[in-house]
Amino acid sequence: MKLLVITQKVDEDDQLLGFFAEWLKRFSKKFDKLTVLCLEKGKYDLPSNIEIISLGKDRGAGKLKLLSTFYFLLSTRYSDYDAVFVHMNPIWVVLGGLYWRLTGKKIFFWYTHKAITLKLRLAEKLADVIFTASKESFRLTSKKVIITGHGIDTRLFQPSEKLKVKSEKLMILSVGRIAPVKNYETLVEAAKILKDEGVDFSVTMVGEVALDSDIRYLASLKLKIKSLKLEGNFSFVGKVNHSDLPQYYQSNDIFIHLSKTGSLDKTILEAMACGMNVLSSNDASRSFLPANLIFEENDPVNLADKITAVKDTTIDADIREYVVKYHGLGKLIDKLSKKILES
C-alpha cells in the first residue's frame, strides 16, 4: 500500500516535531511508499521509499500559495497514494476530505489536544478513523476514535547512569514550549517557597517561544523570577534538538509538568522513560500516576510540598515500564499501520 502523510514539519532537529522523522522511518517498513506533504522541511535522513514535499512555508510561501500547492499535489499525485494519514492539524482533513472521499481514499487522522474547534468537528465528520493517545486527548464523542497510546522512542529516551551524577543540589527540569498554557508561574512561585525553606535547587527550563504572546509571557516570567530574587536558581536553555533532549532528562532529578492542555503530553512520558521522578497537575496524568506524584493546578504551595516529599525517594522502576508497555513507538506504529492496511 502507498500512503500519503500530511504533517506540519519534517525536521529531525526540531524540539517539538523532531520525533516525527522516526515515525516516518518506522512507517516506511510497513508501506510500499510514503509521500509526505509538509508545511516546511529541514534536516532528515530517511529511507528511499519516502518522498518529502514541502508546501513552501520554509520558502516564505503565503497561505494562498500553500493552499494552491496543496490542491495541485492532491490531484496530480492521485496515483501515488491509496490512503491518507493526517498528523495533528484538522484543517488538512477539512480541506482535502471531500476530494479524498469522492476519490475513494480512506482518511486516517491523528489528534491529541483537548481543544474542540469547528475545524475539529468538521474533520471528525470527514475522517474514516481517528487515532489519539488517550481518552483525554480527543474530547469529541465519536465512534471513529481509537485510543493507541503515544509513540515514545524508548531506545532514545532511556536512563543513563553515566549522566545521573548524585548532587546535593536538587535539579528540577521542565520541558516544553514557553507559553501561558504551560503555567510556569506556578513553578516560579513554588521555587520561592523552596528557597525560603532552605532547599538548594536549580530549575532548568528547556523550550522555545513560538508566538509574540509567548515572547511577552517569557519576559513576564523572567521579571517575576527577578522580583523574587530567584535568578540564580533558574536557567532558560531555549530550543534543544530532539536528539539532545534525553541528556536533560537523564541528568536532572525531578520533572515538573504543569501544562493545562488537558491531553497527554509526550514530555512527561519521555521523562518517565528516562527514569525520572515526575510531578504533574495535568488531568491526563491522573489516570496513570500515583497520588503522591500529582499536585493541584495553580497551587504553588502544594507543588513545593510534593517536591520536598519526593526529592529523596527512590524512583519506581514501573515508571519507565509503563511507558514501554503502553506508549512505546514500535507498538504505536504497529497499531496505526495495521488499521490503515486493513482498509
Based on the domain organization, do 229 and 309 belong to the same domain?
Answer: yes
**Which one-letter DSSP state was computed for residue 30?**
T
Give the integer Cα–Cα distance in Å for 93 and 305. 45
237, 115: one domain = no
Burial (CB count <10 Å: 0-12, 13-18, 19+), residue 312: exposed
Residue 157 lies in a domain: no
State which H helix or E strand residue 187 sits in.
helix 184-196
Residues 113 and 147 in one domain: yes
Residue 182: predicted pLDDT: 87
Q: Answer for the pair 233, 226: CB distance below 8 angstroms, yes or no.
A: no
- The residues, ordered by sequence, that sit 6+ positions from 173 with a Cβ below 8 Å of its Cβ are 203, 204, 206, 248, 249, 252, 253, 254, 255, 256, 271, 276
Domain CATH number, residue 127: 3.40.50.2000
pLDDT at residue 284, rounded to an integer? 84
Residues 269 and 293 occupy one common structural domain: yes
pTM of the model: 0.91
Rounded Cα–Cα distance for residues 236 and 207 (Å): 8
Q: Is the dihedral angle over the CA atoms 8, 13, 19, 22 positive or is it negative?
A: positive
Distances in Å between the Cα of 181 and the Cα atoms of 1, 186, 257 are: 40, 11, 11
Stated length of the chain = 343
Helix 266-273 crosses helix 318-327 at what angle (to 10 degrees)? 130
User: Are both 304 and 336 inside the same structural domain?
Assistant: no
Cβ atoms of residues 252 and 173 within 8 Å: yes
The pLDDT assigned to 210 comes to 82
Closest CA to 297 of 287, 289, 309, 285: 285
Do 47 and 62 sit in the same domain of this protein?
A: yes
DSSP result, 175-229: ES--SGGG-HHHHHHHHHHHHHTT--EEEEEE----SHHHHHHHHHHHHHHHHTT
Kindly state the DSSP code that residue 304 receives in the 8-state scheme: H
292 and 174 in a common domain:
yes
Q: Kind of pairing, strands 50-54 and 2-10?
A: unpaired
According to DSSP, residue 328 is labeled B
Residue 160 lies in a domain: no
pLDDT tens digits for range 43-75: 999 999 999 999 999 999 999 999 999 999 998
CA 243, CA 250: separation in Å to the nearest integer? 13
| Residue 165 forms part of a structural domain | no
Average pLDDT, the chain: 94
Q: Do 51 and 18 fall within a single domain?
A: yes
Owning domain of residue 131: 2-151+328-342
Residue 164 lies in a domain: no
- Tens of pLDDT, residue by residue over 93-104, are 999 999 999 999
**Same structural domain for residues 304 and 194?**
yes
- Does a structural domain hold residue 158? no
| Domain count for the chain | 2
Output the CA–CA distances (angstroms, integers) from residue 83 to 91, 341, 343, in the order listed.
17, 9, 8
Angle at 136 between CA 135 and CA 141, to 5 degrees: 65
So what's the pLDDT on residue 166? Answer: 65
Question: Do 95 and 182 share a domain, yes or no?
Answer: no
The dihedral over CA atoms of 24, 210, 273, 330, expressed in degrees to the nearest 10, equals -10
Question: pLDDT category, 272, cuts 50, 70, 90?
Answer: very high
| pLDDT tens string 286-296 | 889 999 999 99
331 CB-side CA count, 13 A: 14
Same domain, 53 and 130: yes
C-alpha cell at 284: 491526563
Residue 161 resides in a domain: no
163 inside domain: no
* Domain identity same for 287 and 332: no
Does 247 reside within a domain?
yes
Pick from 72, 73, 117: which is nearest to 94 by CA?
Answer: 117
Please give the pLDDT value at position 170: 95
Summarize pLDDT for 131-176 with one digit per residue, the tens: 999 988 999 999 999 999 999 999 999 998 776 666 789 999 999 9
